[in-house]
């Protein structure tokens, strides 16, 4: 096989990687006598905007061209999918690579990505291998971006290597220096594929106060007196909010924290030229903004916009073209009253409706809802979808630059959907509404280990973001056929019904904890699980999807039982059932580590659902 790379002004490493991938998969698919092919890969240098690619292949070879090197790699994987390859989840165990004949190679088509921003942000507890497998999977599933949150992903890898929430495993050492080394590898693999790299986000306010802020952990070191005036004043007191630097807001009426935060951001941009987008966010908590006399004369959003303008001025003076992502989140959902971003081209708006319901898709129908009045340190986060969108529209009236939604279907709510079919359909519907919402993409803040019973939600998300005309139901059928073979319809019917009985909102802490309807549905879910038997021959044959399905059945039984008891008001019995579920998933984590984030599901069900152990 001969694959040539046409001369390109940049991106030779990405094109070389695309060449190796195409050759490796075609070699697996074609008989040896059919491997005499000549293929040319060629890329333009349109680095900004939505990728486009063209595939022009005959039985003897042809070409794959793209608007940029990343687009060529996307074109390679899209072509392989046309030939029948299926990339069902992170890791080689999720791939299906069929045999093919030379005649099937002849394909000619063009495609342009539906949206500019199509990515995933790291969350949960992750090993190095989890992160690398996910980076490898992203372009195969149509994504073009990866977000390594904080300045290094220390928080997420520390959770795994120290085995937080799983006392059955011996903690391993993991340091901030380890995270720096891993970060370098993750960045290298991201750039090898030409993916857009997002970095930072949380931690800026803690760093401005003098802390190394790489997680949401409390810091025992007291706030230095020399910096106390920089912290937000709440109820007459300035200090760390609940001891956590990353959750502590600043007093932006004071020029010192403004200068500190702007200096940190510009220095970071200078030292991180590989970052395509640097996220500059404020504290990750709400109802804790500064209430000093001077701060009360304005709003947090006005102050935030002023800080962003100062960062822009300094970046411009330094000759840096770094794109800055700003966040619509908590108090920042309310748009500024007076301040405006002076250089919109510098910035990307990120709408983060973290408190939304996932029982339904974005609601674009009916009259626009009003934005409720802003009351300092007395806000209530919106659950209603229409109200969430009202905040977005308020910002869009004063900012018409680039934007995307930063959403959370696989961050907490997905654990409430035992079948994963409902949440996949909500994602598909949400993506199809992005154009009408005036947004140019979607980044999912989520656990990377979100594949029990399967990785269907991410599959639907990636391919619909690449092509928003894709039929969600067709993608679901395609996935189940590849994952479960000839018995796929029975599996789809089973998981669809399990989804129908589930409630994302209940597990996510929304609504009364005593709920007879939820109790009834969780009882029915257990009956459904008991009646479903994975085909023993398929499980014994080693089919990855079927092995997970057999384990998922036991997991779903345990979680549904705990939820049923909680919804019946039997708190003591529900806690016993939850502990039993914890034992099951902790014991089985070595075998099923890549598909279920044990740390995160236990943390979510404790902090949101209501299974927290009593304090001693």
DSSP-derived secondary structure for 435-449: TTTT--EEEEEEES-
| End-to-end CA gap in the chain | 67
**Residue range 179-187: average pLDDT?**
97
Say if CB 205 and CB 285 are below 8 A apart.
no
pLDDT of residue 502: 98
441: pLDDT strictly greater than 70: yes
Backbone dihedral angles phi then psi of residue 513, each to the nearest 5 degrees:
-75, -30
According to CATH, the topology of domain 2-112 is Chitobiase; domain 2 (3.30.379)
Mean pLDDT of the chain: 95
**Residue 136 — pLDDT band, cuts 50, 70, 90?**
very high
With a CB cutoff of 8 Å and minimum separation 6, the contacts of 392 are: 328, 351, 353, 437, 438
Q: Which of 371, 358, 385 is nearest to 331 (CA)?
A: 371
422: pLDDT strictly greater than 80: yes
538: pLDDT strictly greater than 70: no
**Residue 537 — pLDDT band, cuts 50, 70, 90?**
low
Q: What counts of helices (H) and strands (E) characterise the chain?
A: 19, 17
pLDDT digits (tens, 9 = 90+) for 42-56: 999 876 789 999 999
pLDDT digits (tens, 9 = 90+) for 224-263: 999 999 999 999 999 999 999 999 999 999 999 999 999 9
Class in CATH terms, 117-481:
alpha beta
Taking phi over 0 as left and psi of -120 to 50 as alpha, with beta for the rest, 11 belongs to left
pLDDT digits (tens, 9 = 90+) for 63-108: 999 999 999 999 999 999 999 999 999 999 999 999 999 999 999 9
With a CB cutoff of 8 Å and minimum separation 6, the contacts of 340 are: 305, 398, 399
Helix/strand/coil for 219: coil
CB count in 10 Å sphere of residue 12: 13
pLDDT of residue 541: 59
**Residue range 121-136: average pLDDT?**
98
Backbone dihedral angles phi then psi of residue 292, each to the nearest 5 degrees:
-70, 170
Helix or strand holding residue 399 (H, E): none
Pairing of strands 38-43, 61-66: parallel
Q: What letter does residue 265 receive in the DSSP assignment? A: H
**Residue 543 — pLDDT band, cuts 50, 70, 90?**
confident
**Residue range 329-355: average pLDDT?**
97
Q: Which residues pair with 107 in a beta bridge?
A: 57
pLDDT of residue 43: 93
- Cα distance between residue 429 and residue 567, in whole Å: 29
pLDDT of residue 86: 98
pLDDT of residue 542: 57
pTM to 2 decimals? Answer: 0.96
Give percent of the chain above pLDDT 90: 91
pLDDT of residue 505: 97
Q: Which of 30-44, 171-185, 265-279, 397-411 has the lowest mean pLDDT?
A: 30-44
Q: Which of 217-231, 283-297, 453-467, 536-550 has the lowest mean pLDDT?
A: 536-550
pLDDT of residue 580: 98
**Residue 616 — pLDDT band, cuts 50, 70, 90?**
low
Alpha helix locations (H) across 508-570?
516-531, 536-540, 544-567
CA 104-105-107 angle, to 5 degrees, is: 100
pLDDT digits (tens, 9 = 90+) for 144-173: 999 999 999 999 999 999 999 999 999 999
């Amino acid at each position: 096989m001969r694959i040539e790379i046409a001369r390109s002004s940049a991106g030779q490493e990405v094109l070389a990687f695309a060449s190796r991938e195409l050759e490796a998969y075609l070699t697996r698919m074609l008989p040896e006598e059919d491997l005499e092919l000549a293929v040319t890969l060629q890329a333009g240098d349109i680095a900004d905007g939505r990728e486009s690619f063209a595939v022009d292949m005959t039985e003897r070879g042809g070409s794959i061209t793209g608007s940029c090197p990343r687009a060529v790699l996307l074109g390679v994987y899209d072509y392989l999918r046309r030939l029948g390859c299926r990339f069902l989840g992170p890791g080689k165990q999720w791939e299906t690579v069929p045999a093919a004949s030379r005649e099937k190679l002849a394909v000619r088509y063009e495609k342009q990505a539906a949206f500019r921003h199509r990515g995933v942000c790291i969350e949960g507890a992750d090993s190095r291998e989890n992160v690398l497998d996910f980076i490898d999977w992203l372009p195969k599933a149509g994504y073009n971006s990866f977000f390594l949150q904080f300045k290094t992903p220390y928080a997420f890898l520390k959770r795994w290597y120290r085995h937080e929430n799983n006392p059955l495993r011996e903690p391993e050492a993991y340091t901030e220096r380890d995270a720096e080394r891993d970060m370098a590898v993750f960045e290298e693999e991201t750039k090898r594929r030409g993916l857009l790299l997002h970095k930072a986000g949380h931690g800026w306010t803690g760093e401005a106060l003098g802390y190394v802020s790489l997680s949401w952990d409390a810091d025992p070191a007291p706030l230095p007196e020399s910096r106390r005036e920089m912290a937000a004043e709440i109820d007459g007191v300035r200090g760390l909010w609940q001891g956590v630097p990353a959750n502590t807001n600043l007093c932006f009426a004071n020029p010192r924290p403004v200068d500190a935060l702007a200096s940190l951001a510009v220095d970071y941009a200078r030292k991180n030229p590989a970052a395509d987008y640097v996220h500059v966010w404020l504290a990750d908590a709400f109802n804790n903004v500064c209430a000093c006399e001077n701060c009360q004369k304005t709003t947090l959003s006005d102050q935030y916009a002023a800080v962003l303008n100062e960062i822009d001025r300094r970046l411009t003076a330094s000759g840096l073209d770094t794109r800055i992502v700003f966040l619509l989140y908590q108090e920042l959902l309310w748009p500024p009253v007076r301040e405006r971003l002076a250089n919109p081209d510098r910035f990307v708006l990120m709408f983060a409706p973290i408190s939304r319901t996932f029982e339904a898709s974005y609601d674009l129908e009916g009259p626009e809802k009003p934005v409720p009045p802003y009351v300092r340190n007395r806000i209530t986060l919106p659950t209603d979808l229409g109200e969430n969108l009202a905040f977005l529209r308020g910002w869009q009236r004063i900012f018409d630059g680039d934007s995307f939604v930063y959403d959370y279907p696989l961050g907490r709510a997905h654990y409430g959907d035992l079948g994963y079919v409902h949440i996949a359909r909500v994602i598909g519907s949400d993506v199809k509404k992005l154009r009408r919402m005036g947004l140019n993409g979607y980044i999912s803040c989520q656990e990377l280990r979100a594949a029990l019973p399967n990785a269907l939600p991410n599959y639907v998300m990636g391919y619909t973001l690449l092509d928003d005309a894709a039929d969600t139901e067709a993608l679901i059928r395609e996935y189940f056929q590849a994952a479960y073979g000839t018995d796929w319809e029975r599996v789809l019917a089973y998981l669809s019904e399990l989804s129908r009985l589930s409630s994302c909102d209940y597990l996510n802490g929304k609504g009364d904890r005593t709920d007879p309807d939820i109790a009834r549905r969780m009882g029915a879910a257990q009956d459904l699980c008991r009646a479903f038997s994975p085909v023993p021959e398929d499980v014994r044959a080693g089919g990855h999807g079927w092995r997970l399905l057999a384990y998922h059945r036991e997991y779903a039984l345990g979680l549904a039982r705990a939820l049923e008891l909680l919804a019946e008001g039997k708190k003591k019995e529900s806690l016993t059932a939850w502990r039993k579920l914890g034992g099951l998933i902790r014991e089985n984590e070595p075998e099923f580590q890549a598909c279920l984030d044990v740390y995160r599901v236990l943390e979510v069900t404790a902090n949101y659902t209501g299974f927290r152990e009593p304090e001693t």
